[in-house]
């Protein structure tokens, strides 16, 4: 299995989510299942079916988080070139088609959050920026067309 590169913040968020699922969500849903079973006929018991489905989802998410956390390498321990765009870099871009500036931080898929400006290194934009330097112009193919950016600044 491959390693998962995360920031300290991303690692701690995943740990918090795992703790919440194990200590709060799972016990709550199990209690709901127990109560729903007491209503009798399980074949026509919507509360039971919903609780069972929710528990299945929670167990799957717990398994995924435990697997991911077991393979984490923190970015702070890695020597990543600072003159090029790589995971962990914050990149200031100038959109050459629509005059505006954008800022993205490249992160692992597990940390991606577009509203926070965190894009995955495996997303079309993330892939298109990887390995480029300040001052370079890049064209990135996305599903709805092509983007044309100039890399203004790279920070860690």
Locate the domains of the chain by residue range: 4-76, 80-155
Give the integer Cα–Cα distance in Å for 82 and 145.
Answer: 30
Tokens of 142: 């996305």
pLDDT category, 77, cuts 50, 70, 90?
Answer: low
pLDDT beyond 90 at 42: no
pTM of the model: 0.73
Class of domain 80-155: alpha beta
**Cα 49 to the center of its chain, rounded Å:** 29
Q: How far is CA 41 from the centre of its chain?
A: 41
135: alpha, beta or left? (left if phi > 0; alpha if psi -120 to 50): left
pLDDT in tens, 83-107: 889 888 999 999 999 889 999 999 9
Contact criterion met (CB below 8 Å) for 107 and 9: no
Closest among 94, 103, 100, 99 to 136, alpha carbons compared: 94
CATH number of 4-76: 1.10.287.180
């Amino acid at each position: 299995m491959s390693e998962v590169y995360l920031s300290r913040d991303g690692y701690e968020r995943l740990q918090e989510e795992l703790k919440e699922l194990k200590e709060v969500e799972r016990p709550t849903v199990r209690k709901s299942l127990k109560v729903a079973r007491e209503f009798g006929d399980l074949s026509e018991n919507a509360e039971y079916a919903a609780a069972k489905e929710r528990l299945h989802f929670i167990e799957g998410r717990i398994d995924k988080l435990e697997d991911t956390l077991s393979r984490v390498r923190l970015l702070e321990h890695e020597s990543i070139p600072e003159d090029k765009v790589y995971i962990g870099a914050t990149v200031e871009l100038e959109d050459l088609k629509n005059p505006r500036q954008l800022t993205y931080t490249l992160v692992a898929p597990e940390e991606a959050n577009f509203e926070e400006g965190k894009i995955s290194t495996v997303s079309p934009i993330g892939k298109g920026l990887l390995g480029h330097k300040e001052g370079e112009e890049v064209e990135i193919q996305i599903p709805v067309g092509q983007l044309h950016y100039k890399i203004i600044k790279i920070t860690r």
